[in-house]
Every structure is written in structure tokens, then in C-alpha cells.
Amino acid sequence: MTVQRSAACVEADRTAVELLLQIVAGVYASPGDALAHDLESGTFAAAVQEVADALGVDAPDVVAPTERVLQSSYVDLFVSSASGLSSPPYVGYAVDGELLGPTAVELGRFLEGHGIGTDPGWTDLPDHVAAVAEAAGLLARDGHDEAARYVLVHFMFPWFDRYAGDVASKDVSGFYGPLTRFLHASIREVRRGNRS
């Protein structure tokens, strides 16, 4: 027996995926005023709870460390660490073990094929997890749901699969570890629903 999903269900999934991508972009971009504002106002925690409810995963308690603690943890986890960088924030590196390797090239071609390019003001590598989430978010907002899911499942999930444990074990802020585990579980649920 085939059951057709209601339009409300499809719209809820679309909204959850788009919101999930916004959260990923916000968490893995260098922390600044926008994230601080969203944490202080409760907007960030509300978005996390909405995604958790939509996907059936447990939402973490969202802590709001000081900007200094967030910056320090971000640098230690994703930029440079005295003990060695455990979580390079590049989706292609998670798969290929090299910067700008075949996965990054494939991602770039996929996005270009859907009219998404890199902002000339972007100063990081184009497959930075935050940039990829923003690109997939643009696809979702433009109604390209399958393309957004494809980016989430085929390019972003491997990064979370490889680094979620490392981020959780090394994070001292109480912010990145729980959120990375939550985002990993959330993307896993999208992946299961996507049957990819």
C-alpha cells in the first residue's frame, strides 16, 4: 500500500531542513554578533528545539558562553590548536583527507550547476562547512529541496560522521560539542528519510 504524504508534512520537512541548514551555518561560521544576539534572545535555542521536534531527535541544552569563550573554542576546534587540529571544517577534507580534493571539486560543480557560486568576499575555502550549509540553504529557500538534501546528505553528513566525536570530546565551551552531536543526529534523520 502506498501512502501519499500530505502537503503539510512535506512543508514541515522543507522548513526543518532549511532551519537545520541555517543552524549549521550559524554554528560553524566564526562566532560574531549575530550568533551572540541569537543566543541571548533565545532565537537560537528555539530553532534547535523546532528542528529536534520536526526530526524526532533530542535537543541539547543550548548554553550561551561568552563571546571570548566561543571565539577561543572555535579557534581551538576549527582553526589552529596547539594539540593539533582535530576537526578541519572542510567537507571535502573529511572525505578525501586533502584540501580542495575531488569532493570539493564535485561539490563546486554541483552547486554551480544549480546557480550557486562563491561570494567574492568569502575568505575561507569554498567547502567550509558553514559556506556549504549557506549554499544548501539557498537551494532550499529557492524550492530546490532535493538539491538541498543532496548537499546535506552527500557532502555535509560525512563531515559530521567523521568529526562529531572529536568536536564533542575536545570542546571546552559546552556549546560546540553538544550542538555538533545534535546536528549529526539531525542530519542522520534527514538521510534516513531521504533514503540516500
Q: How much is the pLDDT for 43?
A: 92
Q: How much is the pLDDT for 124?
A: 66
Integer-rounded Cα radius of gyration of the chain: 16
* For range 28-49, the mean pLDDT: 91
* For range 1-7, the mean pLDDT: 36
pLDDT at 173 over 60: yes
Q: 3-9: long-range contacts (C-beta < 8 A, 24 or more apart)? A: none
Q: Considering only residues 17 and 126, tell me which one the structure prediction assigns the higher pLDDT.
A: 17
**pTM for this model (two decimals):** 0.86
Query: CA–CA separation, 27 vs 133, rounded Å?
Result: 10
Q: How much is the pLDDT for 1?
A: 35
Lowest-pLDDT choice from 8-22, 98-112, 155-169, 172-186: 8-22
- Judged on CB neighbours under 10 Å (0-12, 13-18, 19+), 151 is buried
Q: How much is the pLDDT for 47?
A: 94
Fold that domain 7-194 belongs to in CATH: TorD-like (1.10.3480)
**SS3 of the chain:** CCCCCCHHHHHHHHHHHHHHHHHHHHHHCCCCHHHHHHHHHCHHHHHHHHHHHHHCCCCCCCCCCCHHHHHHHHHHHHCCCCCCCCCCCEHHHHHHCCCCCHHHHHHHHHHHHCCCCCCCCCCCCCCEHHHHHHHHHHHHHCCCHHHHHHHHHHHHHHHHHHHHHHHHHHCCCCCHHHHHHHHHHHHHHHHHHHCC
Q: How much is the pLDDT for 158?
A: 96
Mean pLDDT of the chain: 85
pLDDT at 10 over 60: no
pLDDT at 7 over 70: no
* For range 86-94, the mean pLDDT: 90
